[in-house]
Amino acid sequence: MPPCGENLVYRAHGLVILSDAALPELKMCGDDAPPQVRIAAGPVTQGLPGRTGGGVLYDVSPGKFLLQMEGVARYLVSDGCGITIDAAPGADADSVRLFLWGSVFGALLHQRGGLPLHASAIETPKGAVLFAGGSSRGKSALAAAFHARGYRVIADEICAINPASAGAEAVPAIPRLLLWPDVIDQYGPCGPNVRPARANIGKYHVPLETGFAASPSPIHAVYLLVVNNGNEYGISTVSGLDKFARLTDLVFRWQFLSGMCDVSEHFQRVAAVARDMRMRRLERPASRSLQQTADFLEKDFMR
Amino acid sequence: MSGILWIASYPKSGNTWFRAFLENLRRDAGQPVDINDFQSVPANRRRMFDDATGVESTDLTAEEIAHLRPRVYRYIAENSPETVFLKIHDAYTELPGGGPLIPPDATVGAVYIIRNPLDVAISLSHHVGKPLDLKIASMASSDSGVSSEVPDEHLDHQFLSWSEHVLSWVDQQAFPVHVIRYEDMQERPFETFTAAARFCGLPCDPDRVQRAIHHSSFETLEKQERESGFRERPATAASFFRQGKAGAWREVLSPSQVALIVEAHGTVMRRFGYLPFCVP
């Protein structure tokens, strides 16, 4: 991801981003809005001074997040407005950007006091519909299935929630889906720009040339995807404290918060969003196809 | 005592039954612990790996995941004030870059559960919905494991052959291992579970052990699964808790299937009392 010699302005997750390297996954920003985030190449030291927490690959301190991906890059996120990338010698640009759009941007959204959820989202006539759940529950696959039906995609992997006064909104993220070959074969918007998300992993980067949401959308419902081993779909409404607990669990990399941000403020945001959010739990039989699940969900959210 | 205590076994060897006992022993509640609320989670659960590393495991190569797994276990051990019980079906192996998958410095010990491979083959065949002959062959293969092109909620794991799996755990010298036989859990439950509880550093007073054994009986586990399902059941299996019977092989396996298993695993079977066959 070498600097291109000029500053380029993009938009992602509702933010105007100034970058010294090309970010082909993003759309260029056409207006004159001032940049909110600057992404630049530069040296990033190993270890974070004043470390207050972290995990196997990351460290945090107040307002700072450091991710160290061996052989790929070190990333430093500062005060919700700056990302410095120190790419490893010979690292491929796809790998560098894959982690940038994942954990690194998740940390940035946390630092900015946002509420990033681990979810995909689509725009429907009723409002934004989010699909959330553990790994391989079909979040991205459902977004792809609905994209093939003409719905616009709002987000995949990370969906930033804007707690607007009139109700929470889902903010358009990055115009792409990350899909596995079996889903691309069925529903993927194929095109010449579909490529492996990274060498030696099975996931593909599928750019959304069309069908990407242009503006935030009030949230109509969040679906928690659960796979069951029965033959019938099960659907139920999640409410009360259970809804708060589930939403807390859906926050993208909530572990980053401790030692980096004000955790009590974060929980206040979660509580505020949970209060008015409609949450449904979908138990999907493993034996049912993606098409059948999309049919079932469409009936439910359009009701 | 902090660190990880591994509940290790080849698949379908009584690991979940033993975990049910442990959960009931530790909580000592008036009723059986919910089988979907076990604290001793699988060591290859993807969510656990992702939370510990801070990145999506599906964004990593197989080599990167293998390299990181010991660090994840160290991190879990370092950040837990008490012993962490983790279920594991991986064999105890060295990683391609060197060093063991299971870091001894983060390990308190392991309970290794062994079951007659003649019965394992039948149970495994039902569990994964594959023909018995295929499972007998995979139990004899050093390449045996689980990996999927489209990932599920668990990371890939490597079993090796049944015999190699057993020996990899019971003969390693890096940490203490307490070996228990599935058949002894059935035939001599009180002695077997009491000794295991003592090894795990858990309470082992007789009343408490008896209650935990009662609350983790096959009938209780099977009833819970029937009524509320079991999150660890694969889609390929009609039920996770199927029969729980030792010696079923006598009614199911053909003489040639028995011969194949004995040929592949006779040495280890003999060592653990599965050969010569007992005449019922």
Residue A206: CATH number of its domain? 3.40.50.300
- How far does the CA of residue A182 sit from the closest CA of chain B (Å)? 8
Contact B59 A102 (CB under 8 A): yes
- In this prediction, residue A70 has a pLDDT band, given cuts at 50, 70 and 90, of very high
In a domain, A244, yes or no: yes
Q: Please tell me whether residues A145 and A294 are part of one structural domain.
A: yes
Instruction: Note whether A198 contacts B51, CB cutoff 8 Å.
Output: no
Reference A112, options A37, A16, A199, A178; nearest CA is: A37
Query: Average of pLDDT values for B150-175?
Result: 91
Secondary structure letter of residue A39 according to DSSP: E
CA nearest neighbour of A148 among A213, A216, A214, A211? A211
The tens digit of pLDDT for each residue in B176-219 reads 999 999 999 999 999 999 999 999 999 999 999 999 999 998 88
Are A94 and A174 within one domain?
no
In the listed set A68, A87, A112, which residue is the last one of a domain according to the structure? A112
Contact A55 B71 (CB under 8 A): no
Interchain proximity A135–B72, CB inside 8 Å: no
- Same domain for A156 and A284, yes or no, is yes
- Of B59, B71, B237, Cβ closest to residue A99: B59
Banded pLDDT at B67 (limits 50, 70, 90): very high
Q: Do B157 and B93 meet the contact criterion of CB atoms below 8 Å apart? A: no
Q: What is the DSSP string of B24-62?
A: HHHH--SSPPPGGG-SS-BTTBHHHHHHHHSS-GGGS-H
- Does residue A80 have a pLDDT over 60? yes
| Residue A185 lies in domain | 116-302
Residue where a domain terminates, one of A97, A112, A127? A112
| pLDDT score, position B273 | 95
Q: Out of B54, B58, B233, name the one closest to residue A55 (CB).
A: B54
Mean pLDDT of all residues in B145-174:
87
Question: Averaged over B10-39, what is the pLDDT?
Answer: 90
Claim to verify: residue A285 and residue A183 sit in the same structural domain:
yes
Do A136 and B229 count as a contact with CB atoms less than 8 A apart? no
How many interchain CB pairs under 8 A, A with B? 86
Higher pLDDT, B228 or A300: A300
Q: How far is B121 from chain A (nearest CA, A)?
A: 23
Q: Which of A78-82, B62-66, B131-135, B217-221 has the lowest mean pLDDT?
A: B217-221
pLDDT bucket at A188, cuts 50 / 70 / 90: low
Question: Tell me, what's the pLDDT at B168?
Answer: 97
Which residues, in sequence order, are CB contacts of B207 under 8 Å at separation 6+?
none
Nearest to B54 among A56, A197, A201 (CB): A56
CA angle B95, B98, B101 (to 5 degrees): 40
What whole-number distance in Å separates Cα of residue A74 and Cα of residue A47? Answer: 10
Q: Which residues of B touch A135 (CB under 8 A)?
A: 46-47, 50, 57-58, 151-153
Asked if residues B142 and B262 have their Cβ atoms less than 8 Å apart, the reply is: no
Parallel, antiparallel, or unpaired for β A169-171 and A217-228?
antiparallel
Reported ipTM: the value is 0.93
Query: Tens digits of per-residue pLDDT, A206-230?
Result: 999 889 999 999 999 999 998 876 7
Residue A46 in domain: yes
Q: Are A274 and A244 in contact (CB under 8 A)?
A: yes
- Beta-sheet pairing, A176-179 with A204-207: antiparallel
Shared-domain flag, residues A247 and A127: yes
Q: How far away is chain A from the Cα of B62, in angstroms, using its nearest Cα?
A: 8
Query: Are A89 and A229 part of one and the same domain?
Result: no
Is A240 in the same domain as A121?
yes
Q: Where are the domains of chain B?
A: 3-116+145-237
The topology under which CATH files domain B3-116+145-237 is: Rossmann fold (3.40.50)
φ, ψ dihedrals at B178, nearest 5°: -110, 115
Interface test with A, best of B58, B69, B149 (most A CBs within 10 A): B58
Q: For residue A2, is it within any domain? A: no
A225 and A174 in one domain?
A: yes
Look at residue A1 and tell me if it is in a domain: no
Instruction: Say whether both A153 and A192 belong to one domain.
Output: yes
Least CB–CB distance from B60: residue in A134, A181, A201? A201
**pLDDT given at position B238:** 63
pLDDT higher than 80, residue B21: yes
B153/A69 touch (CB, cutoff 8 Å), yes or no: no
Q: Count of domains in chain A? A: 2
Residue B280's pLDDT is 46
β-bridge partners, A85: A41, A75
Query: What are the residues whose beta carbons fall under 8 Å from the beta carbon of A30, sequence distance 6 or more?
Result: none
Name the E strands within B51-118.
83-88, 107-114
Q: Is residue A3 part of a domain?
A: no
Q: Are residues A175 and A298 in the same domain?
A: yes
Q: Which residue of B lies nearest to A94 if distances are taken between CA atoms?
A: B59
User: Chain-wide mean pLDDT for chain B?
Assistant: 90
Nearest to B54 among A70, A98, A253 (CB): A253
What are the phi and psi torsion angles at A153 (to 5°)? -85, 135
Tell me: do A276 and A174 sit in the same domain: yes
pTM, two decimals, is: 0.92
Residues of B with CB under 8 A from a CB of A: 46-47, 50-64, 68, 71-72, 75, 149-153, 229, 233-235, 237
- Average pLDDT of chain A is 92
Helices B206-215, B189-199: inter-axial angle, 10-degree rounding: 110
- Domain for residue A183, yes or no? yes
Residue A12 lies in a domain: yes
**Whether residue A56 is found in the same domain as residue A145:** no
Of B46, B72, B152, the CB nearest to A56: B72
Tokens 């696959």 belong to A141
Nearest C-alpha of chain A: how many angstroms from B253? 28
**Whole-angstrom Cα distance, residue A183 to residue A230?**
23
Q: Is residue A259 part of a domain?
A: yes
Q: Of A67, A85, A112, which one is at a domain's C-terminal end?
A: A112
